[in-house]
Amino acid sequence: MRAGAALLGALLVLLPGTALSAAPECTQGLLERLGWRFESAAVTTPDVHGGPVCTREDLRQAHAQGDLRATLPRQWQPAVRAEFMQQLLDDPASVCAYAMRVGEAARRAAHALENNPGYRFSGLQLGWIGFGARGAHAQGWQRTRSLGRGYRPAASNSQALAAFYTGKVRSECGVGRQVAQLATQRELHGDASFDTAFDNDELGIGTFVGLHDTNSILLGAHAGDLFADGKAVRTSAMGRQAFMGAPGYLTHALGRETLDDLNNQAENFIVVDVGAEAAEALRRHGGFGWYDQRNRELWELSRQLPRRGVRFFERLLAERDPALRASLTDDEAVLLERMDAVLDDPFYRQFLIFVHPRGIKPIGLHVARLLDRNPRTPFTVELTVHNLPTTLYRRWQQAQLRHCAATGLPGSLTSDSGPDGDAGRRPSTQR
């Protein structure tokens, strides 16, 4: 895991001068909420054990394995202590502990979006985003480009995102991915902080090309340093938590002339969970490249299996329809057995993604359904560039430290103001 730690450390070196000067007790309180445990002893140098936090299921497992521990010199002066605490926020173990919180936020956001029956998909539409009869402004959005190709929050950021939780809106899956990314930040910060930590023009949605010409926090001028790991080679080496909230897509491997269903030429997603076995498989195989080959193998097998009825492969492979399986000939059953063997890999079962309008599903389901939608091409998997461990981590840090300074409650988080919050109720473990 040293390689993964070095990679995360390198990401943070890219962001000089962005740390917020804060009282040591605020910084320590934030570290403790991330999971760090501190002790003082008669030592001359700190003893820090971050551990491979990105490989753990949760903080409980990390603590059980002895991660996130630091013993500090009892005689340290306040200035030395403050500098150490600030540096520890940039430790790879801290970034992974933050990634656990990102994962929790991504799951809350994805569940909220998939549970809104008013948030629909429409391939045949005038623009990329439609706000129905009430219009965009009534649901908190202001148009920035024509034909529904760009919007930003009109006033409150949180109220604008709430339109996708409870309102009547439609978009294709690319905007769905953007909304899921922004909703993750809303859940991570809490509404009050989400409204103040980001300017309205940083939270635009629309065509991906259009976002590059804006101040978009995701892809525009304010995105800062972007982490590029298309085949997830580095992310897989770091561990399961490094995937949390990361954006990506499945896309056709062959040319556009092989597409039969343009509305399903790609599926944009965010990662919401990765099982332990899937994480180990990704580490062992070095990322998505190996699975692109497995997807092609599935596609080649599917070409030998005549389809019957609608959603044939989705019902056969993902839903495992017993009647459909029983209807296969002996030769077809042999092909099915080989396809089942490929899809039995933990990656296909435990790599959970949110795709609008499908909701949260294993990636294997999407691979199967695309065999129906576009049977003349296999599909590949990519992560897109993102700034979760860089710019967005810094923004979150700064928001928490400002919150501590304003409230005088070390260890409280901006998200604690929600219905399940526990603001200021966690005393420091060491002073």
CA angle 120, 126, 127 (to 5 degrees): 70
Q: What is the pLDDT along the chain (431 residues), one digit of tens a residue?
A: 334 444 444 444 434 433 445 788 999 999 999 999 999 999 999 999 999 999 999 999 999 999 999 999 999 999 999 999 999 999 999 999 999 999 999 999 999 999 999 999 875 444 589 998 889 999 999 999 988 899 999 999 999 999 999 999 999 999 999 999 999 999 999 999 999 999 999 999 999 999 999 999 999 999 999 999 999 999 999 999 999 999 999 999 999 999 999 999 999 999 999 999 999 999 999 999 999 999 999 999 999 999 999 999 999 999 999 999 999 999 999 999 999 999 999 999 999 999 999 999 999 999 999 999 999 999 999 999 999 999 999 999 999 999 999 999 999 999 996 433 343 334 333 43
Angstrom distance (rounded) from CA 351 to CA 343: 12
- In angstroms, the Cα distances linking 420 to 105, 401, 416 are 13, 21, 7
**Cβ atoms of residues 252 and 377 within 8 Å:** yes
What's the distance, CA 415 to chain centroid? Answer: 18
- Secondary structure of the chain: what % helix, strand, coil (to 5)? 50, 15, 35
Residue written as token pair 């919180």: 101
**Cβ atoms of residues 113 and 356 within 8 Å:** yes
DSSP of 156-179: -HHHHHHHHHHS-EEE-HHHHHHH
Instruction: Give every CB contact of residue 105 below 8 A, 6+ residues apart in sequence.
Output: 184, 185, 187, 188, 245
pTM above 0.85, yes or no: yes
Angstrom distance (rounded) from CA 364 to CA 344: 9
**Cβ atoms of residues 128 and 171 within 8 Å:** yes
Q: How is residue 370 written in tokens?
A: 């695309």
Instruction: Give every CB contact of residue 324 below 8 A, 6+ residues apart in sequence.
Output: 308, 312, 315, 316
Instruction: Lay out the sheet containing 379-383: strands in order across.
Output: 359-362, 351-355, 266-274, 247-252, 379-383
Minimal CA–CA distance to 355: which of 172, 127, 165?
172
| The residue count for the chain | 431
Query: Is omega for the bond preceding 52 within 30 degrees of 0, making it cis?
Result: no
| Alpha helix positions (H), 47-91 | 59-64, 78-89
- In angstroms, the Cα distances linking 13 to 18, 50, 242, 383 are 10, 18, 17, 22
- Coil, strand or helix at 368: helix
